[in-house]
Structure 1
């Protein structure tokens, strides 16, 4: 069971937000029960994207209610230009081996799903053919909130391998499945994290 919270907002000081995330890991993580890890990065147009994983919604809410978390967030929020959006996702599916802290490039894909249940069923199916066709993909996660808004992360070893892989034509059965899933997606946007960073529970 995994719960994901997606945090997004404009931030022009990548170093400052990185330091704040590192400070959270060093100072607040020890008492953040149920926190599993996070994937973070900033796009070319200064958008911070954070995908934070907990073992349950209850653990995430318990963390949010800690006074020290509130104090940390009050400082962090000042680094953003304008509003910060949150998407709380109980519906989480792992792709291949899930995310990877070894990734050198992460692509975040967002949009809306017309049929989240069917989409999840397809994503939970065997991925052997995809893995053979796209060995550059290390894994990923798909998180869907209560309104059908999805956030998918795809982890690659390098961006060069990802771009090369995009040029390849997948096997017909994989292409057919990808086409069917694409039909369920609307308002799709892509957010490239060229220099992602990661945090995993228990590792510093």
Structure 2
């Protein structure tokens, strides 16, 4: 799997949502290897999109389609200033990955000094997480190879997520969380209260 992260400051949210809907309806059927996407707008107006493809080659082929170029030329006008792109060649999923059933998604963005160890910890803790945080449906971690990363956590809804934030966890699981926290460093949070979740049409 391959993930591309796109983000920028939104100037026209209504038009951006129309553009996203149009991509799902009109362009998605021709996007070879497209698996799905998670996107939303933070309270400060910053948009973030995590789009998943089966491979980097599929993502490149999609970007080279004329209709994709025309769509992006229109969509880009919805932003105030430049839009950034980050390619993540080897993402991992835990608890089955993301879900279109999520009512709330939290995306964390930062830089780690040891992405391999962070992956190990997420694998170890992710398999047990649902027993203490049943509102968590799944998650995904993706890095660009230079330590920059995003992690997306999918929840049933925001109220249950907030309610369980201070739940008591077993000592061994808490030690994993603490090491994860140290490796994740300074985190930029994106709380997506109205996430846009699109999976590939089968």
| TM bucket, shorter chain | over 0.9
Instruction: Report the Cα offset of residue 146 of structure 1.
Output: 2.4
3-state secondary structure, aligned to 2:26: helix
Instruction: Report the Cα offset of residue 78 of structure 1.
Output: 0.5
Stretches of structure 2 that go unaligned for 5 or more consecutive residues are: none
Partner of 2:105: 106
User: Structure 1 residue 55 and structure 2 residue 49: aligned?
Assistant: no
Q: Give CA-to-partner distance per residue, 1:70-108, whole Å, 9 cap, x none.
A: 111011000001111111101211021210101110001
Partner of 1:16: 15
Instruction: Report the Cα offset of residue 126 of structure 1.
Output: 6.1
Partner of 1:144: 143
Rounded Cα–Cα distance in structure 1 between residues aligned with 2:135 and 2:127: 13
3-state secondary structure, aligned to 2:98: coil
Instruction: Report the Cα offset of residue 131 of structure 1.
Output: 1.1
Partner of 1:197: 196
Instruction: Report the Cα offset of residue 128 of structure 1.
Output: 4.0
Rounded Cα–Cα distance in structure 2 between residues aligned with 1:128 and 1:146: 24
Instruction: Report the Cα offset of residue 17 of structure 1.
Output: 1.1
3-state secondary structure, aligned to 1:166: coil
3-state secondary structure, aligned to 1:6: strand
Partner of 1:181: 180
Which 4+ runs in 1 deviate beyond 4 A? none
- Report if the CA contact (8 A) 1:105-1:195 is conserved: yes
Q: Give CA-to-partner distance per residue, 1:107-152, whole Å, 9 cap, x none.
A: 0101011111111122223634311010010101111012211101
3-state secondary structure, aligned to 1:101: coil
Rounded Cα–Cα distance in structure 2 between residues aligned with 1:47 and 1:126: 30
Rounded Cα–Cα distance in structure 2 between residues aligned with 1:33 and 1:128: 31
Stretches of structure 1 that go unaligned for 5 or more consecutive residues are: none
Deviates more, 1:35-44 or 1:179-188: 179-188
Rounded Cα–Cα distance in structure 1 between residues aligned with 2:96 and 2:119: 16
TM-score w.r.t. the length of structure 2 is 0.96
Partner of 1:90: 89
Rounded Cα–Cα distance in structure 1 between residues aligned with 2:197 and 2:53: 14
Q: What is the root-mean-square deviation of aligned Cα atoms in Å?
A: 1.3
